[in-house]
């Protein structure tokens, strides 16, 4: 997965600050709270809140080290690649399910459309209820060939299935 895709997923799920932190973590193996505060300009409480959200969603992990001078723990944060791959595969499975549903719909229906208003596609049953006339302009509804859509869906499904099988074999 590209780093840009990961940042986009994090931003969609957890917000802009979380995405900013992920970008920083991608640049280094480990980053301390202090470094993150310097690079983001966030206050410590806000930073920790976002870090814990990322941790709860298994995007990142940490190690903690006791500071011998002060006695407090210092946290070092890093990206958790295993969890990210799991999340990505879950998303792929959702997309795969939707594509299979769409393929079933396309294969089990005959479609009709108006040559002027071809944005709307009617199933055979819907077209029959309309007496095969466009409800917008009254023109005759024409049969729509959807072989290209079916073929494209099959290719995409196969591509995702291959990708998921490859991920399982790692």
Considering the domain architecture, whether residues 70 and 131 belong to the same structural domain is answered as no
C-alpha dist (Å) from residue 60 to 13, 53, 80: 14, 9, 5
* Residue 144 main-chain phi, psi, to 5 deg: -105, 125
**Residue 84 located in a structural domain:** no
Q: What is the pLDDT of residue 2?
A: 62
Considering the domain architecture, whether residues 161 and 122 belong to the same structural domain is answered as yes
Domain range for 22 is 3-79
Q: What is the pLDDT of residue 169?
A: 57
| Domain finish residue from 79, 101, 130 | 79
**Residue 141 located in a structural domain:** yes
Q: Which residues of the chain have pLDDT under 50?
A: 170
| Domain finish residue from 25, 55, 79 | 79
| Domain finish residue from 32, 48, 79 | 79
* Residue 31 main-chain phi, psi, to 5 deg: -135, 135
């Amino acid at each position: 997965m590209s780093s840009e895709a990961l940042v986009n997923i994090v931003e969609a799920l957890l917000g802009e600050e979380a995405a900013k932190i992920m970008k920083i973590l991608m640049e280094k193996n480990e980053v301390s709270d202090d470094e993150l505060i310097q690079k983001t300009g966030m206050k410590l409480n806000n930073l920790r809140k976002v870090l814990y959200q990322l941790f709860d969603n298994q995007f990142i992990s940490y190690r903690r080290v006791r500071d011998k001078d002060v006695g407090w723990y210092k946290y070092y944060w890093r990206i958790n690649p295993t969890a990210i791959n799991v999340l990505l595969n879950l998303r792929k499975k959702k997309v795969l399910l939707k594509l299979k549903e769409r393929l079933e719909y396309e294969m089990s229906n005959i479609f009709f459309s108006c040559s002027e208003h071809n944005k709307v596609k009617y199933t055979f049953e819907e077209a029959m209820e309309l007496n095969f006339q466009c409800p917008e302009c009254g023109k005759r509804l024409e049969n729509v060939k959807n072989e290209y859509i079916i073929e494209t869906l099959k290719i995409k499904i196969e591509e995702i299935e291959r990708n998921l099988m490859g991920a399982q074999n790692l």
